[in-house]
Structure 1
Amino acid sequence: MKRAIMRNVQNVIFLLFTFVSGVFYLCFYMVSIVLGLGLSFTVVGIPLLTNVLRTTQIFVQHERIQTKIYTDISIEPLETRQRAEGNQWKQAKAELMDVRNWISVYWLMQKFFIGCICLVVGVLIYIAPVCFAFVPLFYPYLELTFFGFPVDSELMALQIMGLGFILMIGCSKIGNGLVQLIGGYTRLMFKAIRR
């Protein structure tokens, strides 16, 4: 029982982490790429864009580690890329022309949409059943309704609590499946980058 509870807590953390990291990747890459392209006519834009594209390998490796920790899905790490030889402009050209950087940005930014789905599903399958289980404690003090029906009796509160416990058991399997799907997404991302 304790192991199942810890697994569900890990799943909730991973789903919330997926949402937060998805928001971060979208904001970080959207702002920095637009800023880098907007400033590309100055001396600042191209080095900014080059340094932003260098972060893709770090973030992709971070995703691999998080997937391993929370889903126990092992993914082979990417080969470390060496910086191009030459001056700053040759290095910038190599980073900008490297297709793996742009593929990584695409897959990392897509994580925002997956994260939004994870947030909604995580609340529905993990947090809502726990809230249902505590209804008997709160119904005398709060005006609660359940699908339009007022919760004004102890029997109704106990029925909702029972539904919460049933949903906790049933939704645990759904949550495990969703976490494995997200781990599969990370695996697909690595396959696409390796091509």
Structure 2
Amino acid sequence: MSKLIIEAFKHFAFLMYTFASGLLYFIFFSVGITFGAGLSITLIGLPILAQVLKLAPKFANWDMMMKRKVLGSLLAEETPEHVSHDNRSSHGHAEESIKDVITSEKYWRIAGLLMFKLFIGLGSLLAGVILFIAPLMLFVTPFVYKFIEINVLTIKVDTFILALLVSIFACIWFGVSFLTSRKITQNIARYTNKMAV
């Protein structure tokens, strides 16, 4: 039982990490690319744009590392064999020209996938609230129904029996949530593997 709770906690942590990292990547790349492209008229923007794009593979490898760290052995079979664990070999050479970086489809593809992770992260936040926080709030109903007015689907919970039924429903909901979160986490892990370089 404790193994299932630990696995569910790892799924919840990965869903919340996906939201936070997706928001960070979207803000970083949208600001960096817009700033670099806007200043490209003065030629100062081209090195800025190139440096922002060079960070895309580093962020993708960071995501792979966090996936392995948070999920551990839960998704060990999901990791592609072609992923480089050496940061120096997967990010290109330092002498790579600005033109090569800006015209490289690889950098733009990874940056686009990282920016799209915002929408996956928003879905992860919604899934985390629905799958984990809502059943947890309903589970404590027998302890708080006397102090807080609780309505579940327009039914007022004002007796211990009704509060106990809501708590049992929360346990069933959490069991279904565990299976659903496993599938969602596997799909997000597959998406993270697409970014691997």
TM-score between both structures, scaled by the size of structure 1? 0.90
1:50 positional shift: 1.1
User: Which one scores higher on RCO, CA 8 angstroms, separation ≥ 6?
Assistant: 2
Q: Which residue of 2 aligns with 1:165?
A: 171
Gaps of 5+ in 2: none
Report the Cα distance in structure 1 between the residues aligned to 2:166 and 2:8, rounded to whole angstroms: 21
Is the partner of 2:29 in helix, strand or coil? helix
Report the Cα distance in structure 1 between the residues aligned to 2:178 and 2:24, rounded to whole angstroms: 27
1:122 positional shift: 1.4
TM-score between both structures, scaled by the size of structure 2? 0.89
Alignment of 1:29-44 (within 5 A): 29-44=29-44
Is the partner of 1:169 in helix, strand or coil? helix
Query: Judging changes above 3 Å, is the alpha-carbon distance between structure 1 residues 186 and 107 closer, same or farther for their aligned structure 2 residues?
Result: same
Q: Which residue of 2 aligns with 1:133?
A: 139
1:189 positional shift: 3.0
Report the Cα distance in structure 1 between the residues aligned to 2:31 and 2:146, rounded to whole angstroms: 49
Q: Which residue of 1 aligns with 2:23?
A: 23
1:29 positional shift: 0.4
Aligned partner of 1:147: which letter? L
Is the partner of 2:41 in helix, strand or coil? coil
Report the Cα distance in structure 2 between the residues aligned to 1:187 and 1:58, rounded to whole angstroms: 14
Q: Deviations over 1:59-82 (max 9, x none)?
A: 011111122231333233245221
Aligned partner of 1:82: which letter? H
Residues 84 and 94, structure 1, Cα contact 8 Å, conserved in 2:
no
Report the Cα distance in structure 1 between the residues aligned to 2:13 and 2:68, rounded to whole angstroms: 14
Report the Cα distance in structure 2 between the residues aligned to 1:149 and 1:110, rounded to whole angstroms: 40
Q: Which residue of 2 aligns with 1:92?
A: 98
Q: CA RMSD in A?
A: 1.4
Alignment of 1:44-193 (within 5 A): 44-69=44-69, 70=71, 71-72=75-76, 73-75=78-80, 76-78=82-84, 79-80=89-90, 81-84=92-95, 91-190=97-196
1:143 positional shift: 1.2
Report the Cα distance in structure 2 between the residues aligned to 1:100 and 1:189, rounded to whole angstroms: 10
Gaps of 5+ in 1: 86-90
Q: Deviations over 1:28-49 (max 9, x none)?
A: 1001111111111124211111
Aligned partner of 2:95: which letter? A
Identity of aligned residues (%): 27
Is the partner of 1:140 in helix, strand or coil? coil
Is the partner of 1:84 in helix, strand or coil? coil
